[in-house]
């Protein structure tokens, strides 16, 4: 094991895109990359942060930072991935969600996603009401746009086939989509607003 050891513990478990340090004091090694601004170093995979001091005779006094993968590593969201998420919180300009599946494979670790107001749909973006698009507990199919700030992936539901695929009504029934923007409770007949995903061909739906 490299000198400097592995920094273990929850606080030192890093995920893709997470900042590892500044390029002024660190050199990116395995599992790490230099950001486009050339100033910060980020993790490219999930694992533990490892620091290796420079050789005694080296003119470069910066330590090397590596990310060593751990055994529970599973699928990781990447730009272009289709993910299935569970909405956890809805706010005026965004909704946050826990990522459950990446390209139909269940994740083994916690990844958080954010759907911003401008990424809910492709048209009339300025008229999007987050509270009429999603509610906590909704299961949503989304596209990963990028890794944003605060270790949360930016997600989009702008395409027709993306959006809410499963939702429970206030009465507890599993709602049925009746239009692009509405779902109906089979128990009460009550209609609720959602950004509904286009119904997939038979055999390609998402089970709850």
pLDDT in tens, 157-200: 999 999 999 999 888 889 999 998 999 999 999 999 999 998 65
pLDDT in tens, 18-29: 889 999 999 998
Element housing 141 (H / E) = strand 139-147
pLDDT, greater one: 110 or 82: 82
Q: Which fold has domain 6-69?
A: OB fold (Dihydrolipoamide Acetyltransferase, E2P) (2.40.50)
Q: Which of 113, 101, 154, 158 is nearest to 133 (CA)?
A: 158
Cα 71 from chain centroid?
A: 21
Architecture of domain 82-193: Beta Barrel (2.40)
Q: Is the pTM of this model over 0.75?
A: no
Question: In which residue ranges of the chain is CATH 2.40.50.100 found?
Answer: 6-69
**Three-class secondary structure of residue 9 per DSSP:** coil
What do you get for the CA distance between the two ends of the chain, in Å? Answer: 44
Q: Which of 78, 69, 79 is nearest to 46 (CA)?
A: 69
Question: In which residue ranges of the chain is CATH 2.40.50.140 found?
Answer: 82-193
Cα 168 from chain centroid?
A: 22
- Which residues share a beta bridge with 22? 40
pLDDT, greater one: 6 or 17: 17
Encoding tokens for residue 134? 């999603």
pLDDT, greater one: 4 or 55: 55
């Amino acid at each position: 094991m490299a000198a400097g050891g592995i920094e273990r513990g929850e606080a030192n478990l890093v995920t893709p895109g997470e900042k590892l340090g500044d390029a002024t004091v660190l050199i990116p090694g395995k599992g790490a990359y230099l950001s486009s601004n050339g100033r910060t170093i980020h993790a490219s995979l999930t694992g533990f942060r490892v620091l290796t001091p420079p050789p005694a005779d080296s003119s470069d006094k910066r330590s090397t930072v590596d990310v060593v993968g751990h055994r529970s590593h599973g699928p990781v969201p990447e730009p272009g991935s289709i993910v299935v998420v569970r909405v956890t919180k809805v706010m005026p300009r965004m909704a946050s969600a826990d990522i459950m599946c990446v390209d139909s494979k269940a994740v083994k670790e916690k990844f958080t996603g954010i759907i911003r107001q401008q990424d809910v749909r492709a048209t009339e973006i300025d008229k999007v009401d987050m509270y009429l698009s999603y509610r906590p507990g909704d299961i949503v199919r989304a596209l990963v746009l990028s890794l944003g700030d605060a270790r949360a992936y930016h997600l989009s539901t702008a395409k027709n086939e993306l959006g809410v695929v499963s939702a429970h009504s206030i009465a507890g029934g599993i709602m049925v989509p009746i239009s692009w923007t509405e779902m109906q409770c089979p128990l009460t007949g009550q209609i609720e607003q959602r950004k509904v995903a286009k119904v997939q061909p038979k055999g390609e739906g998402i089970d709850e």
